[in-house]
A = this chain, B = another copy of it.
Amino acid sequence: MTAAAASTTDDQRFADLHQVLEQGAMRKAARMLNALQPAEIAHLLESQPPNERELVWSLVDAEYDGEILTSLNDDVREQLISQMDAGELVAAVGGLDTDDLADLIQDLPVTITSEVLKSLDQQRRERLQTALAFPEDSAGGLMNTDTVTVRPEVTLDVVMRYLRRLKDGLPDITDNLIVVNREGSYLGVLYLTDLLTHDPEETVAEAMTLAVQAIPATWGAREVATRFEQHDLVTAPVVDDSGLLLGRITVDDVMDVIREEAEHQFLGQAGLSETEDMFAPVLLSARRRALWLGVNLLTAFLAAWVIGRFEDTIQQVVALAVLMPVVASMGGIAGTQTLTLAIRGLAIGQLSSKNARWLLWKELAVAAINSVVWAVVVAAVAAYWFGDPQIALVIGVAITINLLAAALAGALLPMALERFGIDPALAGGVILTTVTDVVGFVAFLGLATLFLV
């Protein structure tokens, strides 16, 4: 057998499993299912409508329950947890890493939390408390406490003999041993690759790497992800304020951070949460969506109210009603481009007060050029359509004004919102279209009132 032949894509395997489930071959399905990684089972659960989801969950070996739960998004996780009894839950969290356990325990019912705590031994309880002391999205919340440490003065030969005596082997995803002094302060790392290639008579101090800086436990998840990406890290040590080693972060958790941040940005724009379950119960989804629709309805009514101020003008020149969505829409589209660029820039740390002014001028210049181009096109179409050069002039000027306003709002909004502690990915789009609607309608209908009637 070649391994290549065994490497089917997830899509393929999920399709196969689906077919077996549909045929009702439950034993076979369970066997296929439990051959998957916990994260793959979690992904499969998230892909199922509610009924199939419960069926799949019932086929999973209990020993994987804990790891699967930690891999699920919050919505689906809560659903499944609510159907488990205390005994099942205590058993499920038994074998988890401290960081996973810390994430999970905050979602458990209070009565069960205390049972879980009781079931832990002294060392695990202490480690859990360390992890719980930090917010979930900080370096401290991401870290695990399964560090293997060595002292600088011993030789590599001694280190290797020490490793061979480790009862449980080395933890998953270990690319280095962490070098600490007598007090437990972080000094550097000894890469396994160096341990294996250097002369065994060398000391750890000679073979270790000083270039890997420890990450303070207080750093945010986003800063941790940037550090991993830019330094090509596989694991990184985490320290407290005084440099004492607390734990380590592994790259698998960092990949999750990158994925979650991206989802937050993408889904946030539509007023959705990154924990949104695609197959959530209808009533739950309807309630969540209703709020977003309500907020947007308010801004739509504001735009309607603005139009209402010009009822008389529209009555006299009904062509205005026909053309006004064009003005608003052009502003919205152009503004969204600037806004999206600025939100991305903020998120990856490339937009700051240092270069914000430059971006603003550039976006205004781009808007100026495009407003001239498109104002002429729209004016020409309007002139031809309604045979009225004045309406053409009015819509051309209105579009120019709205595109400039859109660039201004798109470039400044994200930084302004962030300063007030509001998430630009969530609120930016709503506010921007309110601006471009209002400016667009006021400019177009206002100019028309002045010059056309």
Contacts of A311 in B (CB 8 A): 318-319, 321-322
Output the nearest chain B residue to A186 by Cβ-Cβ distance: B3
Per-position 1/0 for A326-362, Cβ under 8 A of B: 1011100110110111001100111110110011001
Known: A49-B355, A196-B196, A251-B251. A362 touches B325 (CB 8 A): no
Q: Taking the complex as formed, is A164 at the interface, i.e. its CB lies under 8 A from any CB of chain B?
A: yes
Pair B234/A234 contact, Cβ less than 8 Å: yes
* Nearest CB of B to A144, in Å: 12
Interface centre among A227, A269, A285, A369 (most CB of B within 10 A): A285
Q: Taking the complex as formed, is A106 at the interface, i.e. its CB lies under 8 A from any CB of chain B?
A: no
Bound form: Cα–Cα A442–B199 in Å: 80
Pair B300/A267 contact, Cβ less than 8 Å: no
Contacts of A378 in B (CB 8 A): 297
Pair A6/B337 contact, Cβ less than 8 Å: no
Bound form: Cα–Cα A223–B198 in Å: 37
* Nearest CB of B to A336, in Å: 5
Bound form: Cα–Cα A326–B441 in Å: 13
* Nearest CB of B to A4, in Å: 4
Q: Taking the complex as formed, is A15 at the interface, i.e. its CB lies under 8 A from any CB of chain B?
A: yes
Pair A330/B229 contact, Cβ less than 8 Å: no
Pair A350/B47 contact, Cβ less than 8 Å: yes
Known: A46-B350, A195-B196. A328 touches B325 (CB 8 A): yes
* Nearest CB of B to A68, in Å: 11
Picked from B265, B307, B374, the residue with its CB within 8 Å of the CB of A321 is B307
Output the nearest chain B residue to A164 by Cβ-Cβ distance: B197
Pair B325/A325 contact, Cβ less than 8 Å: yes
Q: Taking the complex as formed, is A80 at the interface, i.e. its CB lies under 8 A from any CB of chain B?
A: no
Q: Taking the complex as formed, is A169 at the interface, i.e. its CB lies under 8 A from any CB of chain B?
A: yes
* Nearest CB of B to A327, in Å: 9
Known: A283-B369, A290-B370. A187 touches B296 (CB 8 A): no
Q: Taking the complex as formed, is A314 at the interface, i.e. its CB lies under 8 A from any CB of chain B?
A: yes
Known: A337-B272, A341-B276, A350-B46. A175 touches B262 (CB 8 A): no
Bound form: Cα–Cα A290–B253 in Å: 40
Q: In the complex, which residues 1-23 of chain A have their Cβ closer than 8 Å to any Cβ of chain B?
A: 2-7, 9-11, 14-15, 18
Q: In the complex, which residues 273-329 of chain A have their Cβ closer than 8 Å to any Cβ of chain B?
A: 276, 278-280, 282-283, 285-286, 289-290, 292-294, 296-297, 299-301, 303-304, 307-308, 311, 314-315, 318-326, 328-329
Q: In the complex, which residues 257-275 of chain A have their Cβ closer than 8 Å to any Cβ of chain B?
A: 258-259, 261-263, 265-267, 269-272
Contacts of A214 in B (CB 8 A): 3-4, 7
Pair A344/B267 contact, Cβ less than 8 Å: yes
Bound form: Cα–Cα A25–B251 in Å: 37
Contacts of A349 in B (CB 8 A): 10-11, 14, 43, 47
Picked from B10, B230, B243, the residue with its CB within 8 Å of the CB of A5 is B243
Output the nearest chain B residue to A327 by Cβ-Cβ distance: B300
Known: A4-B242, A297-B378. A344 touches B266 (CB 8 A): yes
Pair A337/B4 contact, Cβ less than 8 Å: no
* Nearest CB of B to A29, in Å: 14
Known: A267-B340, A340-B272. A307 touches B329 (CB 8 A): no
Bound form: Cα–Cα A192–B234 in Å: 14
Picked from B215, B267, B300, B314, the residue with its CB within 8 Å of the CB of A325 is B300
Q: Taking the complex as formed, is A129 at the interface, i.e. its CB lies under 8 A from any CB of chain B?
A: no
Q: Taking the complex as formed, is A136 at the interface, i.e. its CB lies under 8 A from any CB of chain B?
A: no
Pair B355/A48 contact, Cβ less than 8 Å: yes
Pair A215/B7 contact, Cβ less than 8 Å: yes
Contacts of A170 in B (CB 8 A): 193, 196-197
Per-position 1/0 for A225-268, Cβ under 8 A of B: 01111111010010111110000001110111011011101110
Q: Taking the complex as formed, is A451 at the interface, i.e. its CB lies under 8 A from any CB of chain B?
A: no
Contacts of A252 in B (CB 8 A): 229, 232
Q: What are 15 sample pairs from A and B whose C-beta atoms fall under 8 A apart? A: A4-B243, A9-B219, A15-B352, A43-B348, A47-B349, A47-B350, A196-B196, A234-B234, A259-B262, A262-B266, A271-B337, A289-B334, A290-B373, A290-B374, A292-B337
Besides A266-B266, A271-B337, A283-B369, 8 other CB < 8 A contacts? A4-B239, A7-B215, A10-B227, A39-B229, A43-B348, A174-B193, A285-B362, A314-B318
